[in-house]
């Protein structure tokens, strides 16, 4: 259902939003590698632009200055030959200059009437025609930028003998600048590609260490969801993902511990249920035996005595009222004893304090155990919720019963503490004691703990061999008790 809702929602998105969602849905590998490529390409483009622009400016300025310097040299060397009208020597000088300076494409000597007296072109020049001096605009020693056959040239115009013998025009190509820039761009592109390759390799390595613990977390999470609570992650580094792995392991350990506790509680509940069934059968057997042995025999004897009652007129002796009263009294006592063992009426009528006091008195009078009962509190008439009273009473009853059967002692004590924030029951004996780890689930302790858990109480058993046993039950007082 959720997937269908997401599909419907995506259909209403704009194309830009869909594209953005698709880009953000790319795996982390793709995101990091794409980011590295984008940043590298952007950085390389920007750096290449500024370097080319700055270098080209400097190169053209250098070429301009070189053109002016060569123009001055040529003008000075041509002054003497032109003064004596020695054109042959002038051409030799120009030819030598063209051979020595690679950037020179042409040299033109024009007279004062702007007619070309000498013009020479480098054999490697790519220009189609030499500019006419009459078309040249500019003051003396002015650099002009010319374009001829897609070749950019720098032309310097230098006067000869202050202009008395005309001017010399020298055209210099920018081919060296272009070659330098192309070589620089080639090297920069190679360096950039190598850097991008190294960046990609580092990004792949970094992404591997970044994604590996995430994949591990996903794998362990799937294992936990499948019921394998023993799986754990292995933190690689102590970074944020490492801290996440450590926190995840703690969570998994808590889940496993809670699951173990839950299974243990379920096992204990099953054992308690079994124990309750067995206890119920024991109680029925005990009641049946009491009814048969005590109450049944007493009723049978009473019936026989009634049948044999013949006073004065019969042959048998007359039964006295005192004998009949004693028998009926014993019968009534047996019935009350069984009723008290099933559920003491004092709990319903007077509360837990009175019921515990009566329990100690009954057990003292009907067994060889001397049970001392003490109450600590301000209000003996204070009533607790019914489930609290009956549960604490049953725990005390089970604890004293264990003392009678197993402790091998003549005395025990019950201390009932009724404070404002906690209800406590402490039962102690000085008997043989036992090892709590070996008998943690025996001697009725499991049943007492389950009873305590029902009312949200803590039950602690402290015992050592030959050092007696102490059982303490603590129940936190709730505000709703007083309200009820």
SS3 26: coil
- Concatenated DSSP letters for 36-59? HHHHHHHHHHHHHHHHHHHHHHHH
pLDDT band at 475 (very low <50, low <70, confident <90, very high): very high
Indicate the average pLDDT of the chain.
Answer: 78
CA distance 320 to 310: 11
Please say whether the beta carbons of 103 and 127 come within 8 A.
no
- 428-431 long-range contacts (CB < 8 A, ≥24 apart) are 428/468, 428/469, 428/470, 428/471, 429/403, 429/468, 429/469, 430/468, 431/403, 431/406, 431/407, 431/468, 431/469
| pLDDT, tens only, 155-213 | 788 888 877 778 888 888 877 778 888 888 888 888 888 888 888 888 888 877 777 88
Question: Between β-strands 411-418 and 370-377, what pairing exists: parallel, antiparallel or unpaired?
Answer: parallel
Tell me the two tokens of residue 472: 């303490």
The strand ranges marked E within 339-442 are: 370-377, 411-418, 422-429
Prediction pTM value: 0.44
* Residues linked to residue 169 through DSSP beta bridges, in sequence order: 108, 157
Nearest Cα neighbor of 428 from 483, 351, 374 is: 374
Question: Between β-strands 422-429 and 411-418, what pairing exists: parallel, antiparallel or unpaired?
Answer: antiparallel
C-alpha pair distances (Å), 416 with each of 384, 425, 479: 13, 5, 20
H or E stretch including 420?
Answer: none
pLDDT band at 340 (very low <50, low <70, confident <90, very high): low
Only one residue has tokens 């009962």, namely: 373
Please say whether the beta carbons of 414 and 372 come within 8 A.
yes
In the predicted model, what is the mean pLDDT of residues 302-307? 64
CA distance 481 to 484: 5
Structural domains of the chain ordered from first start: 1-227 (3.30.450.20), 346-484 (3.30.565.10)
Please say whether the beta carbons of 88 and 163 come within 8 A.
no
Residue 44: per-residue pLDDT? 81
Please say whether the beta carbons of 474 and 480 come within 8 A.
no
Only one residue has tokens 């209800």, namely: 423
pLDDT band at 3 (very low <50, low <70, confident <90, very high): very low
Distance from the Cα of residue 355 to its chain's centroid: 54
| pLDDT, tens only, 220-251 | 888 878 878 788 877 777 777 778 788 888 88
Please say whether the beta carbons of 38 and 135 come within 8 A.
no
CA distance 203 to 216: 20
H or E stretch including 328?
Answer: helix 321-342
- How many percent of the chain have pLDDT more than 90? 9
Higher-confidence residue: 314 or 294? 294
The strand ranges marked E within 269-403 are: 370-377
Residue 417: per-residue pLDDT? 93
C-alpha pair distances (Å), 356 with each of 163, 349, 417: 138, 13, 12
- Concatenated DSSP letters for 212-253? HHHHHHHHHHHHHHTT-TT------SSSHHHHHHHHHHHHHH
Nearest Cα neighbor of 213 from 224, 202, 221, 225 is: 221
Nearest Cα neighbor of 447 from 384, 394, 377 is: 394
| pLDDT, tens only, 432-453 | 988 877 765 555 787 788 888 8
Residue 138: per-residue pLDDT? 44
Please say whether the beta carbons of 177 and 152 come within 8 A.
no
């Amino acid at each position: 259902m959720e997937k269908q809702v997401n599909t419907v929602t995506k259909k209403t998105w704009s194309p830009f939003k869909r594209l953005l969602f698709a880009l953000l849905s790319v795996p982390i590998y793709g995101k990091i590698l794409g980011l590295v490529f984008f940043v590298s390409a952007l950085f390389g483009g920007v750096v290449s632009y500024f370097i080319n622009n700055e270098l080209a400016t400097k190169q053209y300025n250098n070429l301009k200055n070189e053109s002016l310097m060569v123009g001055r040299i040529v003008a000075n060397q041509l002054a003497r030959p032109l003064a004596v009208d020695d054109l042959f020597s002038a051409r030799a000088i120009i030819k030598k200059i063209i051979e020595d300076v690679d950037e020179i494409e042409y040299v033109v000597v024009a007279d004062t009437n702007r007619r070309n007296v000498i013009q020479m072109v480098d054999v490697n020049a790519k220009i189609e025609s030499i500019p006419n001096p009459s078309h040249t605009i500019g003051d003396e020693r002015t650099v002009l930028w010319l374009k001829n056959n897609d070749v950019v040239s720098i032309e310097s115009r230098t006067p000869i003998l202050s202009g008395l013998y005309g001017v010399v025009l020298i055209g210099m190509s920018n081919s060296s600048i272009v070659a330098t820039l192309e070589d620089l761009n080639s090297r920069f592109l190679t360096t950039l590609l190598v850097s991008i390759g190294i960046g990609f390799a580092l990004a792949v390595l970094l992404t591997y260490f970044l994604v590996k613990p995430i994949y591990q977390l996903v794998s362990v999470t799937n294992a936990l969801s499948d019921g394998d609570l023993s799986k754990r992650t292995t933190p690689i580094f102590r970074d944020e993902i490492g801290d996440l792995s450590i926190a995840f392991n703690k969570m998994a350990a808590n889940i496993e511990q809670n699951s173990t506790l839950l299974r243990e509680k379920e096992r204990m509940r099953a054992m308690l249920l079994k124990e309750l069934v067995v206890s119920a059968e024991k109680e029925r057997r005990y009641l049946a035996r009491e009814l048969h042995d005590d109450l049944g025999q007493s009723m049978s004897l009473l019936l026989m005595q009634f049948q044999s009652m013949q006073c004065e007129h019969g042959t048998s002796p007359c039964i006295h009222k005192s004998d009949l009263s004693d028998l009926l009294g014993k019968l009534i006592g047996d019935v009350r004893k069984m009723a008290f063992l099933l559920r003491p009426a004092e709990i319903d009528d007077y509360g837990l304090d009175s019921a515990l006091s009566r329990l100690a008195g009954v057990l003292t009078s009907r067994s060889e155990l001397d049970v001392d009962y003490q109450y600590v509190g301000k209000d003996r008439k204070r009533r607790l919720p019914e489930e609290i009273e009956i549960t604490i009473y049953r725990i005390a009853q089970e604890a004293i019963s264990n003392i009678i059967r197993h402790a091998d002692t003549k005395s025990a004590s019950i201390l009932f503490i009724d404070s404002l924030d906690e209800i406590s029951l402490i039962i102690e004996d000085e008997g043989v004691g036992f090892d709590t780890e070996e008998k943690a689930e025996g001697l009725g302790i499991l049943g007492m703990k389950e009873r305590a858990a029902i009312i949200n109480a803590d039950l602690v058993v402290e015992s050592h061999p030959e050092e007696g046993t102490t059982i303490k039950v603590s129940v936190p007082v709730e505000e709703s008790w007083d309200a009820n």
